[in-house]
């Protein structure tokens, strides 16, 4: 009888304290976009441009890093996430890109006569061995559409580690911003 009691107590203790031995899942690494072009030294008569908050498709605007697998199966990286929503990160990178350009002066309050840029993030993912981003944009002045279009950039990566995938996505975002600046200014 004493052996049964001791055995029951041992099992009870094991069940109570066994959960404390459980290893915790490693927190995912968080990545944020950075725009890495050199800034302008002297702006001469730059165009004032109001950049609206970037919008994104629902599938794109998640902190999880999207990876398309075989047969367009949607997966996410387990060990990495974006630091904030892609629409917010891309907006921040856009601002840095426009501030670095000598022909643009971003403003935060729209006034009649200013240029207004709207951007929608259509895709941001990894597939096979490349990262891809695509945006749609529209440039207006006083409700008149001056330019609009779609820009898509791809960058390949060698290994499928989360840091390599993110670096390829970030490089694509930098190239899109550079191309956008060329197209609208």
- What is the C-alpha separation between 108 and 98, in angstroms, rounded? 13
pTM of structure: 0.83
What is the pLDDT at residue 40? 77
- pLDDT for res 14: 62
Q: What is the pLDDT of residue 117?
A: 98
Say which DSSP state 37 is in.
Answer: P
CATH number given to 29-184: 3.40.50.10610
For residue 74, pLDDT beyond 70: yes
- Beta pairing class for 130-141 and 115-127: antiparallel
CA–CA dist 83, 111 (Å, integer)? 32
Q: What is the pLDDT of residue 69?
A: 85
With b for 16 or more beta-carbon neighbours within 10 A and e for fewer, the 47-61 pattern comes to eebbbeebebeeebb
User: Angle at the Cα of 146 (from 101 to 123), degrees rounded to 5?
Assistant: 70
Q: What is the mean pLDDT of residues 33-49?
A: 83
């Amino acid at each position: 009888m004493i052996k049964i009691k001791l055995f029951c107590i041992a099992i009870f203790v094991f069940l109570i304290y066994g959960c404390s031995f459980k290893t915790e899942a490693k927190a995912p690494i968080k990545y944020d976009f950075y725009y890495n072009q050199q800034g302008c030294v002297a702006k001469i008569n730059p165009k004032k441009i109001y950049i609206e908050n970037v919008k994104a498709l629902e599938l794109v605007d998640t902190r999880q890093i999207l990876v398309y697998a075989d047969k367009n199966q949607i997966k996410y990286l387990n060990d990495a996430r974006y630091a904030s929503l892609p629409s917010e990160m891309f907006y921040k990178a856009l601002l840095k890109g426009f501030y670095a350009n000598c022909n643009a002066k971003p403003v935060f309050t729209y006034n009649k006569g200013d240029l207004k840029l709207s951007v929608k993030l259509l895709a941001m993912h990894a597939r096979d061995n490349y990262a891809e981003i695509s945006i749609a944009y529209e440039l207006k002045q006083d409700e008149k559409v001056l330019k609009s279009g779609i820009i898509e950039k791809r960058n390949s990566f060698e290994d499928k580690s989360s840091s390599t995938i993110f670096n390829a996505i970030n490089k694509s975002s930098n190239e899109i911003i550079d191309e956008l600046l060329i197209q609208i200014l």
